[in-house]
Structure 1
């Protein structure tokens, strides 16, 4: 059936290409010599009219008749010359081009396609997806096979501070705050396996008291360390996080990604659709969803789906100081006001590190740190933002603009 349809489409295309040339041959389109001949005859009639009106004299009219007559004879001679192969040559050239195109298309299909693959009904595709789901590599295998990451460039002073943090955590391995800081800073250095191990120790230390956010962060680090693959172990941790808090948007995004990785767009689409409709529009997990939601909807059997516009999700403004904080700042000294600003920036940084945030908030943090003169911290945030949002151009754009303004990008 497939090859029959291909043959019919080929015939239709060939007929469409050949039709204009065939019409030109059948109607006998006038040649250049015939056109010149009509022009010269019109010029002779114009000479006679000018002579009758007295515009030119008899001698001038005779000279013009002789000159135009010579051109008429030349056009008659060219028109009389046989040219049987003119249209045939065009048809032959068009046929050769058409054959080359068809041969190229067929060869490309044989090279890139799967001509011997049988048609797969929906039941077999679902079964294949289930097999792929069951045959996923475990966390250790996925980490071993993951491509090597490009490490961000950081200052030697920052690396030394992280090394001191490692030594401190090694001395007090049951310190939750130390493990949290170590996981964050290892992630900023691009050491995803080390970050995952620190977060794993934190979750093991917490036991049943581990929060949904801590479990979600562990799952995300496991996915990063596995090169983006959601392994069975990462899925189990993700399920624990969602069991504690079903509303976690980042967790639901990863749940949809899990279904997509295993060939089930029909299950991924409703999860991601709900995230888009809930908003906010500028949520970091929604940027990659918006980039592919239309294709996903088509694969899931919803070809008419239209993503919500920003107004429909009620995109909020970025948080800032409230009226009381602004009023209190008016009575502060310069040092007190500076301390208040630093505390606000530190709070924003802590929230982004633990809960995530929109690209605009990351951009705001980079700009604020640069204004405070904390260039090293701003550069570390920029490096982390590249890892989180680098794969989504529309998400990384405002962050890159803030980094350029802060002088972090030359």
Structure 2
């Protein structure tokens, strides 16, 4: 809609500007020419003089006057303006197709370039727009190309305007949505440097640092979480991450304290509040993990290697199968590791395969599933890895098919 309105405004502007340049020039008369009306009056005066002097009788005088009238009418009809006494027009006010062509090429181009430099084109894209097209291979490819183009334009603008904190934050979010955690971390670092006292920004930065660190919130990510809570003790994402850090190091009491604090800040009927309540119940031992698994907190299906895969992997290459949240943190909820020789493979992901005690499959309603073949065996994806995706699917779903059929793009660095 934005581009449609912009195009209509450009068309309207060009129509107003070009109309005078393309209008036909009016006829031009010689400034020294005597108007036919004056010649007619002079000749009538001569006929009247001849009549008074007796050199012309009345019948001949009327015949001559009629002849003059016909000649005057003929002169008026031959004039393109239809007015023998029309005022003289400016000889320079005519068609100018060269200037019109120049304006037609320059003005729309200048408008687009100015918007790309001064505007915010990436704001027109939402990461959710890509999801519905993922089911269609061609649509997914086109969407990725468009998104990458917009993000690259933003990155280029920030190289010329490095003090734009909001731009760096948006670039970090865009890279995170594109699953490029290393690039996202660099962009967030610039934003934090420019706006060091924004708690929410530091919480997002910590989440990305965890992805770069293989899913662990220890180290640099923990430092950002602690700084965020020092700035705002009620920052929701920082509280949730702090609880996960506590569970990683086995401090259930501290994790419960953070979750209880967060639960009091959330709307009671929200999905997030339900997940926090489940985490609290598990940490307190009110609902055993086995009981949660028995209620359907798992997803299962089958992974196959597509015959359309861009390359044929070696039998000893590593296969990672993992579930991720549909939104929020990109840290996997559950991970299963096998080898290519095991394919096709039946799999089940549940809380027993969680990477973090505070980040489990049972805390989600829906997840996305991915299977990746890694020649290096690295938990972080590398260019040349093969990948297949499915979802979003509801937790508890079974018979999910994942076909490994595409290549990780060279610019991506995924977990």
TM-score of the pair, normalised by structure 1: 0.36
> Considering only CA atoms, is the larger Rg found in Structure 1 or Structure 2?
2
Higher strand share: 2
Higher helix share: 1
